[in-house]
Every structure is written in structure tokens, then in C-alpha cells.
A and B are shown apart, each in its own frame.
Chain A
């Protein structure tokens, strides 16, 4: 034992601190939480991550790499995604959600402008090869991830050019073609092989692919307009929605005439209507139910209305009236909504004697799409309509996986990308013989869990769409891009839900100095030798990154 110093005057450089950690019953932990934006993103993009590097380092390149870890189409999604992430954003409960979508668009465009290259995650090529059928968002996302993981990938595309519905289903004023093209090129530069004008099931048998490749992914999409079976549909100037859009996007501009009637309430219906409007027609949309039931993205509906497209609710086509073989009108009947049907939507029933004729030079039936199963009949289906898969997206056929609209039914580009990503992971697991899926994520953090004291209210940044009369003159994009500075400021609004943003509260407030900033990693660490588990750090952590757990 140390000898007592004179007068008990102790040399403080010799002190061995008493360890108060033994007093603890509760133990604080730094636990990364899933932010609601990522949680509600079909692709699970690291939104918080890319916003932080923008806010903290103004580093667009790093932001692009963070985004493209999951999504090879930031510039595309930044335009066409209905951004459920913003619906999830915790700022919704504080002031207004972040403009995540526009920020993503800015980062995506930056990537294209600076021709940034994707980073391979596995550098040594693997022997396994995977065939991807369809070069839509699902197929390309799947190919993209497999290629990054070192697999050999070949994509078979039935059409003349890649992109699937991104190319043929979305008009240029929503998605300029070269944006998509360049994002596809970036994917191909990872070494993905692409063969177009090859229809699997017709030009080459699926079984052939199953022989030549260790795994097959089907990203067929739903590109066939559903049959409507309405009298007179064989007349000229009657289009399916997808057919109409495909013509437009392939450069075939049809003669639509003065009056165009679009039937349906989905995104395709909106796109067709707005395209027709840009071709100079007076356009009305006919829908059996009301706006509330419309499946189309709200933004699309609103923009369509802005562009003075007439909406006729509770209206259903009965018959196409033609003069010789040319459409002159559409006989419609008024509907009333009765009790909900299986789809959960109120079932519309015709009101007898309410028929009337809408004048029409063109009728576009955008009432649903289907998968083209030509030569692929032996795949197991759901409702005899969509491909059925197990939770790992494997179909009834061994080693054949599927995703995208063909599985989900009509969905968004993001949803399709998400499925391509999941399928890729599943395929990798399958080929490596892993049973566990690698996609488990931590719990979601909500605003009520956070300490609002540390955040300042700031309105969401937004830019006006260009005026309607300007829009209608061309197929140019209607929303101007954010300036780089504007994106940085908006990124600064991110609450960093569930992950440290270096506010130093835990470090400064700990009465026991039991929090240290690790000099090398720059991360905060608890010193459990001294932490008494008082929970002050938990209460004062703005973003709920710290949680109190029972001491084991």
C-alpha cells in the first residue's frame, strides 16, 4: 500500500481513479436506427447518409456513391419517383418534410455531368454467370448489383433499346431520355453484357438460359395493355395506354385529332392524357370512381389538372362510336358507388338511362397492363396474372428468380429497382449457399423518440414548375433543378434520425466524463468503467441514437 503523503497532500498525477461503472443498473448504447425515409423507400436508399455528406462536407461525389450503393438510377428516380421517403420524413411532424427527391435528382445529375463510375464491391470476378431477362428498372438493378458483386451478367432485352417502361412508358417531360440512357451506360460499364431484340421464350428458350447460366432473373415488366372488351374497340385511333406511350417514345407521333378521351385513373392514363395535350388536343379523362380512388400518383393528377385536362368521374365507357372505321365518340354511362369490392375500393354500378356520348377523335384505353407470357407459360402465377415467388423472389422454377411489375403488378420504377436489388442479393445468397437473407435492418426511429429542442424550424425548399402554357409547347421537363447551394441548404434540414451527427451533447453533458471521442475513428464511445447509467445522454441525444438498456 502507498505510504501516506505529508499532511495527506496527494500528488494528483499519481491518482488511480475509482471506477464508478459498478454503480450502473442501466447501460447506454449507441444504436444506429433506421430513419423513416429509408424505411419507406422501396430501394432502402441511405438517404440520411447522402444528405449528411452534402450538409457536412458539400461532397456531391461521395453523396452519389452513397446513393448508388443501392440505386443505379438516382437521376431517373429523382424525377419519376413518387418519393414515399418524403411521406416518411420525420420533419413532417415538426415543420415540413425534406425535399429528398429533388436532392436525389441533383446528386444523380452531378454523377452524370462528372461521369462518375460505380465502384465494384467484389473485384475478383466469380465463375457464376447470371442471365437477366428484361432491361427495365428491375432487370438493370439486378444486373447492376450482381455485376458489382463480381458475377458475370448478361441482359436479354426484347425491344430494340434497353430501359423497359422507363424508356417506353414515361414521357420525356417527366424523364429526359438521355438521363436514363447515361445511367444505363454507367451500369453497362460495370461489365454487364446487353443483347437487345431478343425475346426470351420466343427467340431463345428459358430452359436454354437455365442451362447456360447458374441463375436467371426475370424482369419482364407488364407492358401489354389489358384487353377491355368494349364494342368498337377495333376502330382506328383506339389505343391502349402503353401502346400509345410506346409509339410516342419510339418517335411515332400518331394523328390524335381535336378531342382525345382517355379511359382510366392510373399513371399511364395521366401520362397519355398529358402527352395528348402536348400534341394539341382537348383531353378528358374518364374514370369510374372519384379522384380519391385514382391509383395514379397525386403529383401526376395535380399536374394533369393544371394542364387543364378534363376529369370525368363516375363515368364508364359503354361503346366506341365510329363513323366507318374512324372513332367519332365514346358512349358513356354514369356510375354510382356501392359497397366496397374485393379490392377495397367502392364498387361502381351503372345508373340506368344515364348514357351520353363524348365526342372523340382518339380514345386511349389506359385501363391496366399485363405480363407478356409468350413462351413462358410454365411459370407459376398469382391470380393467373402475375408471377408468383417465394420471399426470396424465387419462382416455381428452380434457379429462376423474378421481380418488378411482372411480380408486383403495376408499380413504380423505384419498387422495381428495389426488387431487382433484393433479387440480386437473394441470387448471391443462393449461389453462395447462404440460407440467411442479408437484408435485415434496425428498427425505425420516429419523431416522438427524438429531442426536438435541438432542431430549428426551417421551411422546405421548393421550386415552381414552369407555367402551363410554357409546358405544353414541348416535351421538356416541367420542374427546374435545384442549384447546388440550394441542395446543400435543404440537406442541412435533415434531422439525422437515429444516427449521430456530432452534436457533442453526450460528450459535454456526461457528469462522469464517461463519453470519449475516439481520436482515430472520430466516433463517440462510452467508458463503462465510469458510466453510472444516469441516462442524461439518452435524454439529450437529439436523434435517438443513444438508448438505455438493462445492464446485463
Chain B
């Protein structure tokens, strides 16, 4: 049923419908509204789950690790510094193949301290062995959580659902919140693969010497690659069951006869779509390739979508300092060596630390990349406040 509500509450209500057994989280802006609302649902008895108020994100992640290892459907949410503090556990959860779902309300990283949105935080754990799905709007954020539990439990891989902090978490807009019975029909109850239980004594978290470690990591890598099919399938099943497209690996907008393609992820895609329509009215053919699944990175899908496109600009809210665009390098790497010739793949870093990404600034970007390839640019940079000595 279509409800008008805040993004955080759309997520918390849907998560509750997924019937997690154990929820543990530590408050951090802009994730707080999600935990507060889940605490309320558990407190009021609307959700039969254990809600563990821990003393740090590190323990929050550890609690859900333990809970999942004991057979519980477990959920946590954090952002920014909290995610960095979890980092060690994040790697463990993946290595132990525990199907935990985590909501990352994407936010910038200190220093300087900044509570506003970008996607640097989830980028820091992109190699940890988690599936990372990016939501465009609150409807998709909500839908992705329903899919996430299903994908995670089918693949024994943890999933991070990324939604831009504030821009989505704090935005009020209509979201179709499904009925509990619809969710139950779509998401079967959790059948854990391997748990600690005295009836079938197992050891979880053994150490592996050089004879075994590499194989374990290789298997994990392959599991992520193979999860592409599951992500695609679950997204399709979801469309079947709920009558709307959500998630999947990639999405495109007016790509077919586009001369220029903008590649991006997350909420800025909406702004870009409006711009594309405006430019179309002005006679320009610009298209959009939107990455929903950043990990696993859908190399083939991206290649198939872009192989005829010669001018591409990657717009992203994170940067590999000293290197440049992170998504950009993944896009460049999606083309076989031979096919990179003559193809322009520009890289734009935008919206760091909550900097507004305006249509004007995007227009400037488009105008520039139509003229020349841009190795790396920071969108909307205020040159006046950059001191010479800092360059």
C-alpha cells in the first residue's frame, strides 16, 4: 500500500516485515531514524526479535555475527565511521559466509568531520566479500531489503544495502509498503547452512594455514561472481511478485541511441534522469547507465550496455585518493584492452561531504565531456577557497 513516509521508516518497516530474529546497532547520524524505529517496533511487540543495544558499532557487528552463526536472521545498520569501526568484523562475516543484511546510510568519512552524504564509507569495504546494492530512491531502498535477505540466504553471502544518507534516509516521499503476507510469500524462513549447535557440533572460524587460506578466499570470490545470477533472478522474481522493477545488476535510461552515457550509482541517478530529459528537449542524446550492484561488479552486463558507446562519463561520490574515480576504474576495466582504443571514459567526483549536485553543474559536466575527455575532475569545486600552497 502506498504510504507517505521518511526513507528511514520505509526501510525500518520493511526490515521488520522480513522478520529478523536479532537486531543490533549503534546510533550514528544519519542512520539513527532506522534503529530508533526498529527499537520501537520491538519494544511495542510489533516485531518479535531481540534488539541488542550495544556499546559500539564494533560490537553491533560482532553481535549479529554471533547471532547469524547461531542460526538467527540478523540485521544491523550503520554508516561512515561506524562502518569503518566495524571493518574487521565486516571481513569476518563474509569470510565465515554469514548471510547478514546491513543498511549503510552512506556518509562521508573524517577528517574533517562531516555528517553529510557521499559514498566513501561503503567504498572502504568494497573488497570485503560483501554484496553491495545501491538504491536510487526510497522505494528501491525498501524493496532492496526484501530482496537482500533472500539473496544473502541463497548465496551465504552478507549484503550491504547502500542508500544515500539524508538525501534518502531523511526524505519524505510516497513508498509502496507491501503487506506482511506478500513479504512472507516472497521471503521463505531462514534455513541456516552451518551453525553452532550442540546437537551437531561444528567449528566456525577455524584458522587456515597457507595450504588452505587461498582456496577459501578463491571460493569466496567465485561465490560473489556467481551471486550475479541470484541477484538478477531475485530481482525478476520480485518484479513478478510486487509488480515493479527494483534492484538487479544495472539499470539504463535512454541508453539505446545516446551519444553520451553518464554512469553513476545511488540517488543522483534521479537528478541525472531529469537532466537527460531536458537535454533531449534541446536535441541532445544523453543516456544513463546506473550501477545497482557495485559488488559483485557486473562486468559483462556493463560491457554489453556500453560496447557501442564511445563517450562515457562516470559520476561518483567517492574517490580513491591518489588514484581517482573508483567506479570509473571499474568501468574502464570492463572493456577488453583492445576495445578501449578511441573510447572516451571521463571521471567526475561529485557531491563529497553533502555538496549539492545541481542540474547546472551536471550541465557543465556534459558540455565539457562533449568537447574533451576528462581524466579526472571534481564537480563544483570552489577554486577560490583552495590555497595555492595546498596544491
Task: List residues of A whose CB falls within 8 A of some B CB.
Answer: 4-13
Residues of A within 8 A of B212 (CB): 4, 8
Q: Do A7 and B194 touch (CB < 8 A)? A: yes
Q: Do B201 and A9 touch (CB < 8 A)? A: no
Those of B206-230 within 8 Å (CB) of chain A:
206, 208, 212, 215-216, 219
The verdict on B169 contacting chain A, using a C-beta distance below 8 Å, is no
Tell which of B95, B193, B194, B201 touches A13, judged by Cβ atoms closer than 8 Å: B201
Residues of A within 8 A of B206 (CB): 8, 10
Shortest distance from the beta carbon of B143 to any chain A beta carbon, whole Å: 28
- Top 9 nearest A-B pairs by Cβ distance? A7-B97, A9-B194, A12-B201, A10-B203, A7-B96, A9-B204, A9-B202, A6-B193, A8-B206
Q: Do A6 and B202 touch (CB < 8 A)? A: no
Those of B139-179 within 8 Å (CB) of chain A:
156
Q: A9's closest neighbor in chain B, by CB?
A: B194
The answer for the CA separation of A450 and B97 in the assembled complex, in Å, is 54
> With A4-B215, A4-B219 in contact, do A10 and B193 touch (Cβ < 8 Å)?
no
Q: Do B204 and A7 touch (CB < 8 A)? A: yes
Candidate in A7, A9, A10 with the most chain B CB atoms within 10 angstroms: A7
User: Would you give 18 A-B contacts (Cβ < 8 Å), ordered by A?
Assistant: A4-B215, A4-B216, A6-B97, A6-B156, A6-B193, A7-B95, A7-B193, A7-B194, A7-B204, A8-B208, A8-B212, A9-B202, A9-B204, A10-B203, A10-B206, A11-B200, A11-B201, A12-B203
The answer for the CA separation of A7 and B215 in the assembled complex, in Å, is 11
Q: A5's closest neighbor in chain B, by CB?
A: B194
| Interface size, B (range) | 10 to 19
Shortest distance from the beta carbon of A130 to any chain B beta carbon, whole Å: 67
Residues of B within 8 A of A8 (CB): 96, 204-206, 208, 212, 216
The verdict on B289 contacting chain A, using a C-beta distance below 8 Å, is no
Q: A10's closest neighbor in chain B, by CB?
A: B203
Shortest distance from the beta carbon of A18 to any chain B beta carbon, whole Å: 12
The verdict on B98 contacting chain A, using a C-beta distance below 8 Å, is yes
Q: B211's closest neighbor in chain A, by CB?
A: A1
Residues of B within 8 A of A7 (CB): 95-98, 156, 193-194, 204
The answer for the CA separation of A240 and B50 in the assembled complex, in Å, is 103
Residues of A within 8 A of B219 (CB): 4
The answer for the CA separation of A12 and B205 in the assembled complex, in Å, is 13
The answer for the CA separation of A374 and B200 in the assembled complex, in Å, is 89
Residues of A within 8 A of B208 (CB): 8
Residues of A within 8 A of B97 (CB): 6-7, 9
Shortest distance from the beta carbon of A16 to any chain B beta carbon, whole Å: 14
Shortest distance from the beta carbon of B159 to any chain A beta carbon, whole Å: 16
Candidate in B202, B204, B206 with the most chain A CB atoms within 10 angstroms: B202
Residues of A within 8 A of B156 (CB): 6-7
Contacts A4-B219, A7-B204, A9-B193 known; 7 new A-B pairs at CB < 8 A: A4-B215, A6-B194, A7-B98, A7-B194, A8-B96, A11-B200, A12-B201
Residues of B within 8 A of A10 (CB): 202-203, 206
Those of B229-265 within 8 Å (CB) of chain A:
none
Those of B294-339 within 8 Å (CB) of chain A:
none
Residues of A within 8 A of B193 (CB): 6-7, 9
Residues of B within 8 A of A11 (CB): 200-202
The answer for the CA separation of A4 and B95 in the assembled complex, in Å, is 13
Residues of A within 8 A of B95 (CB): 7
Residues of A within 8 A of B200 (CB): 11
Residues of B within 8 A of A4 (CB): 212, 215-216, 219
Shortest distance from the beta carbon of A14 to any chain B beta carbon, whole Å: 10
Shortest distance from the beta carbon of B230 to any chain A beta carbon, whole Å: 15
Residues of B within 8 A of A13 (CB): 201
Those of B94-114 within 8 Å (CB) of chain A:
95-98
Q: A13's closest neighbor in chain B, by CB?
A: B201
The answer for the CA separation of A11 and B199 in the assembled complex, in Å, is 11
The answer for the CA separation of A10 and B212 in the assembled complex, in Å, is 13
Shortest distance from the beta carbon of A290 to any chain B beta carbon, whole Å: 78
Residues of B within 8 A of A12 (CB): 201-203
Residues of B within 8 A of A5 (CB): 194
The answer for the CA separation of A7 and B97 in the assembled complex, in Å, is 5
The answer for the CA separation of A10 and B201 in the assembled complex, in Å, is 9
Residues of A within 8 A of B205 (CB): 8
Shortest distance from the beta carbon of B299 to any chain A beta carbon, whole Å: 25
One digit per residue, 1 when the CB lies within 8 angstroms of any chain A CB and 0 when it does not, for chain B 63-100 equals 00000000000000000000000000000000111100
Q: B202's closest neighbor in chain A, by CB?
A: A9
One digit per residue, 1 when the CB lies within 8 angstroms of any chain A CB and 0 when it does not, for chain B 280-302 equals 00000000000000000000000
Shortest distance from the beta carbon of A505 to any chain B beta carbon, whole Å: 29
Shortest distance from the beta carbon of B282 to any chain A beta carbon, whole Å: 54
The answer for the CA separation of A6 and B215 in the assembled complex, in Å, is 12
Shortest distance from the beta carbon of A199 to any chain B beta carbon, whole Å: 83
Shortest distance from the beta carbon of B191 to any chain A beta carbon, whole Å: 13
Q: B203's closest neighbor in chain A, by CB?
A: A10
Shortest distance from the beta carbon of A393 to any chain B beta carbon, whole Å: 66
Q: B220's closest neighbor in chain A, by CB?
A: A7
Candidate in A5, A9, A13 with the most chain B CB atoms within 10 angstroms: A9
The answer for the CA separation of A7 and B219 in the assembled complex, in Å, is 9
Q: B208's closest neighbor in chain A, by CB?
A: A8
The answer for the CA separation of A63 and B144 in the assembled complex, in Å, is 83
Shortest distance from the beta carbon of B16 to any chain A beta carbon, whole Å: 27
The answer for the CA separation of A7 and B212 in the assembled complex, in Å, is 12
Shortest distance from the beta carbon of B361 to any chain A beta carbon, whole Å: 45
Q: Do A9 and B203 touch (CB < 8 A)? A: yes
The answer for the CA separation of A13 and B199 in the assembled complex, in Å, is 11
Shortest distance from the beta carbon of A13 to any chain B beta carbon, whole Å: 7
The answer for the CA separation of A11 and B204 in the assembled complex, in Å, is 9
Shortest distance from the beta carbon of B1 to any chain A beta carbon, whole Å: 39
The answer for the CA separation of A7 and B93 in the assembled complex, in Å, is 10
The answer for the CA separation of A319 and B201 in the assembled complex, in Å, is 98
Q: B216's closest neighbor in chain A, by CB?
A: A8
The answer for the CA separation of A7 and B205 in the assembled complex, in Å, is 8
Residues of A within 8 A of B202 (CB): 9-12
Shortest distance from the beta carbon of B269 to any chain A beta carbon, whole Å: 35
Shortest distance from the beta carbon of A204 to any chain B beta carbon, whole Å: 82
The answer for the CA separation of A32 and B201 in the assembled complex, in Å, is 41
Shortest distance from the beta carbon of B165 to any chain A beta carbon, whole Å: 31
